[in-house]
A and B are shown apart, each in its own frame.
Chain A
Amino acid sequence: MRKSLPLALIFALVGFGLSAAGAAAQEKPRYGGILNWYDYADPGRLDIHSESPLGVQQAVAGVYSGLLHYDPDDPTKIVGDLAERWSASPDGKTYTFHLRKGVKWHDGQPFSAADAKATFDRVLNPNFKSPRCGSMLKPMVASVEMVDPHTVQFQLKFPAAPFVSAVASAWCRVVAKHVLEKYGDLTKPEAQIGTGPFKFKRYERDSVIEWEKNKDYFIPGLPYLDGVKQFILKGAPTQLAAAKAGRIHVWDTWPPMKKTQADELKSARGGEVEVYQASINTIFLIYMHTQKPPFNNPDMRRAVNLAIDRQELVAKTLEGAGVPCALLDPKLVGDFALPLAEVNKLPGCRQPKDQDIAEAKRLVEKHYPNGIDVEAAVRSVGGYIDRAQLVLSQLRKIGIRGTLKTYESAAGFAVYGKGDFTFITTQDRAMVTADPGDVFALIYTTDAGSNWGKWSDAKVDELADRGLREANRTKRAQIYHELQRHIMTSAPSAVPVGWVEGWFFQDKRVRNYKASPTIYDHSTFMKVWLTQ
C-alpha cells in the first residue's frame, strides 16, 4: 500500500532534486565517504519522542527507522520502512502493520512487534510529554496491540485521515523496548540504539555529532556513505563560511539562506554547488488577541485583515521567497489548497489595495474616530524586526498606530503562550507533517496549541473535525476549501500572510538527496552517496 501526496508537491520540494535524480539514475552509486552538514543548535537532549526542536530530530534522524516513512526515492509518497506492508479495515478504524523479519537493533538484539508496541504505548501515555509524535497520535489512537511478533495493530478512535502521515513522521520513529527498560528514556547518547542505516557514533556537545554506517542495515547494500558528520554551527556567519569553504555538502535545514547569502555562495563556489529555492512548510502569521481590546471587536480584526498587504510583505521582507495570502500552500498540499487565483481575489488579498484600505479605515473610524495606539509585540530574531516595521507602517494607513515591543526569542514564546499581548506583528509556525489539517489543528481550532489569540469559532472547529475524520480525498478537499474560505473572510485571530520559502544548496558531489515535505523528514541520508 502506498499513500500518495499531492503531485504539486513535487514542484515545490524537489524541483532541483528531480534533475539531480535523473542524473543519479544513470550513475552507479559509489560506496564510501563522509557526508558533512550542520545542525543550527546543540540538541542537548536526544529523546526523539519527548523533544520538539529540529536540532534533536537532525541529531538522530539516520539512527532510527519508522513503521512508515517518506520514500527516499520519491518523498511525495509514504512507503513502508520497518513495515513491509500495511492495511486499513473497511471502516478505517483499524490499521494493521506487517513488520519486516530479521531486523536487528544496533546492539544486535532482534527487532519485533513488541518494540513497536512499546514505542507507541510510550508516546500515547497521557502522562508522557510528547509534543510532536504524541500530540499528533493521542487524539486519534485508542490503543496499540501486538498481534504476533511481526504484526502490530492500531485501533483508532475514529477513521482519521492524517493517521498514516503521522505514523510516517520522523518524530514517530520506533525505538527499542529493551533500551527504554535499561535507560528509562532516550536522552543520553548511549541510548541511541536504533535499526536505521547509521549507528550513533559520537556526540561532542556544541561541536559535532557523528554517525557511522550500520553494516547490518535491513536493506542490503545500504547505506552508501561510511558516515555522516554534523557540525554544530550556531552563528549565521559561521554557517555561511562553512558553505563557502566547501566544508558542508548540504544546506537543507533551518534557517534557510537569504537570497543575498545564496548569491554570495554562488559567486564563491560557482558551478560546484546547486542553489535552489524551496518551501520550509512554515506559515507567516500576524496575531491579534481576541479577548483584549481593541481586537476583541471583530470589526478591528477585519480591518487588520483587510489592510495587511501580503504581497508587499513577502516581496520586501522575504525577498519574494514565499506564497502570499495562502492559508494552505498549493505547492505543499496540492488541491487541498484553495486555488491561488481564487485566494488572490479575496478581500485582504486582492490588488490593488485601495478598496480594502478604504473599508479597513472606515471600520477603525467607526469605533475609534481618532485612531488607536496599540502595543505590537515581536521576537527579536531573524528578520522579524524588519517585518514588524512594515506591518506597522501598513496599519498606520488605517489609523492603527503600533508601538513595537521587542522580546528576546524565548521570552517571546512565553509571553505569547500566556496570552500577555495585544498584537503580534509577525510569527512563523512550522507544520509537523505534510497533512493539510495540520495548520488548522495547530493554529485555528479553539483548542489549538498555537491559538495564542484565543479565537473560538464553532464553524472552524466543526469543519476541522470533519476534515480530520473524512477518508474520501475529494470530500476532504471540499471541506478544507470551505474552511479556508470561512477563515479568510471572517475575523480570525491569526492573519495568514503567506507560506515561507528559502534558499538552500547541495554540493554537486552529492547524489540522490531529496527534500521531503517537511524539514523534519529528510535527514536519514539512507540512499545518498558522494561522487568523490
Chain B
Amino acid sequence: MSMTMGRSPANPSAPAGRPLLEVNDLKKHFPIKAGFFGGKTGNVYAVDGVTFHINKGETLSLVGESGCGKSTVGKTLLRLYNPTDGQVVLDGQRIDDLSEGKLRPVRRRIGVVFQDPFSSLNPRMRVRDLLAEPIRNYGLAKNGADLQARLDKLMDTVRLPRDAVNRFPHEFSGGQRQRICIARALAGEPELIICDEAVSALDVSVKAQIVNLLQDLQKDLGLALLFISHDLAIVEHMTHRVAVMYLGKIVEIAPKRSLFAAPKHPYTEALLSAVPVPSPGQARKRIILKGDVPSPIKPPKGCRFHTRCPYAFDRCRVDEPRLQQTSPEHWSACHLHDLPAAENPLARDTVLYS
C-alpha cells in the first residue's frame, strides 16, 4: 500500500494489527519572521519527528513540560496546523494531505476537548446550538425529532439535566462547562477524542468527576483517547500507554505499568521524581534537574536532554539517540541502554516510590 511507503521509516512500535491512528515521523516547524520584509530568520522546531500509534478503545497519554510540543501534536493531528512533514494515518487513510473538503468527514471522527472551558464555548450560543452545530454540520440528524433525541442523549451521556440545553454557557460552573465541551466533542460520534489538558484547569473535586466521566465514556463507547497532560498522577490513573515528550521529540513510550515502575529515560525518571506526592514524611529520592528547558528554536545537538541530564556522557553531546526497545512494548531514546547493564543506571526494574 502506498501509505506505508512514505518517506519516513516504518512505525517501529506499531503492533501487527491495524491501529486506529498511526503517526509517522510527524514534524511541525513554525517559521520565525523578522524585519521589515518579514524574511524568515529561523524555525521553531515545535514537533520534530514524532512517531506513535493509538489502538481502538485505547488511551495514550502525551506528557511533558510546557513548550515540549505536546499540544502542537494534538493540533497538527486535527489539522488545525498543517504538518511540515510526516504522515498521519487514521484507520488506514492518510489524512495529513487531504484537501479541506475531503477532510470534513474525517474531522467528524476525531473530537477534541480543550483546556479552558471558559474560552472554548461561544458565550452567545445556547447549549442547544453549541451541540446542534456539529450534528448539523456533519448532517447526522435526519429530522427535528432526531436532533432532539441526539441532544437528549448527549446531555444524558455527560450527566447534565436535559433541560439545561436552553441555557447559556455563563450559567454553568467550570466542571459543567467542561461536560458541555465533552458533549460537543461527542456530537459527531467520533472514534478518537483528543483531550488537550482537558482537566488541568479544574478544581480537585471537579477534576475527579470529569476523569471518571472520561473513563466511563471510553468503556461505554469504545473511544480512543489521546490524553495530553502535564499531570502525571492523573495520567497514571487513566491511561493505558504513555509517551513522554521533550523538546519536540518522544523520548520514551511504554505501557503505563512498565513506565511508572521503572522509567528507562533519565528525563522520565526526573519528571516522576519531581511530582509532589500527597503523603507527608515519605522520603523519596528526588532528582532536581538543573536549569530550564532549552529553546526549541535552537535545540541542543546530540541528545536534546544532554544539557540537563545527570548521566550525560560524551556521546550524548554529538550523537542523537533513537528510540530503542528495552523490553516488550517499552521504547526509550537513550544511549545508556547501549552500555553494559552494570554501567547503566536505568537498567533496573525497581520502583521509585512506594
Q: Do A and B come from one complex?
A: no
Binding site for A on B (CB under 8 A): none
